[in-house]
Amino acid sequence: MEFLLGNPFSTPVGQCLEKATDGSLQSEDWTLNMEICDIINETEEGPKDAIRALKKRLNGNRNYREVMLALTVLETCVKNCGHRFHILVANRDFIDSVLVKIISPKNNPPTIVQDKVLALIQAWADAFRSSPDLTGVVHIYEELKRKGVEFPMADLDALSPIHTPQR
């Protein structure tokens, strides 16, 4: 049904996301990343539009520079956006059909991409464990661990918090 919704990069947040994940960027555009967070937080459709654009950028993309930039945007949004965005990111469908798919052996992504995806899943599982409507990521994390997936060693004390205080 996604195709009925048109180009995910045609929305305001989608346009910013497309620029922020352009493979020709030399490094992250933090101004743009924070602008994406503002649009997500301040508009009704922001969270859904952002997720659609992120899925488009991440699914089946062999340009791992773009994938890493998109993962950074995703991580930034999780840390700076509210519950409406968290619900869309932490659900099983998004984690499984987007993030786990990126690191599947048939895609053979570079180690840096695998480590980033696994670190995000691990951090979110830890952060969202106590929120009943955000436990999809916890279930996927536990399934991956049962299957023998090795997560990178995370210094949980060094990670910045995911739960952003209310303004």
Classify burial at 41, counting beta carbons within 10 Å of its beta carbon; exposed 0-12, middle 13-18, buried 19 or more: middle
- The secondary structure of 83-140 as a DSSP string is HHHHHHHSSHHHIIIIIIHHTSTTT---HHHHHHHHHHHHHHHHHHTT-GGGTHHHHH
Residue 78 CB: number of other CB atoms within 10 A?
21
Domains of the chain: 12-149 (1.25.40.90)
Confidence at residue 104, expressed as pLDDT on a 0 to 100 scale: 93
Instruction: Give tens-digit pLDDT for 86-127.
Output: 999 999 999 999 999 999 999 999 999 999 999 999 999 999
Tens digit of pLDDT per residue, the chain (167 long)? Answer: 444 568 999 999 999 999 999 999 999 999 999 999 999 999 999 999 999 999 999 999 999 999 999 999 999 999 999 999 999 999 999 999 999 999 999 999 999 999 999 999 999 999 999 999 999 999 999 999 999 999 988 665 555 556 555 55
Side-chain-side CA neighbours of residue 69 (13 Å): 25
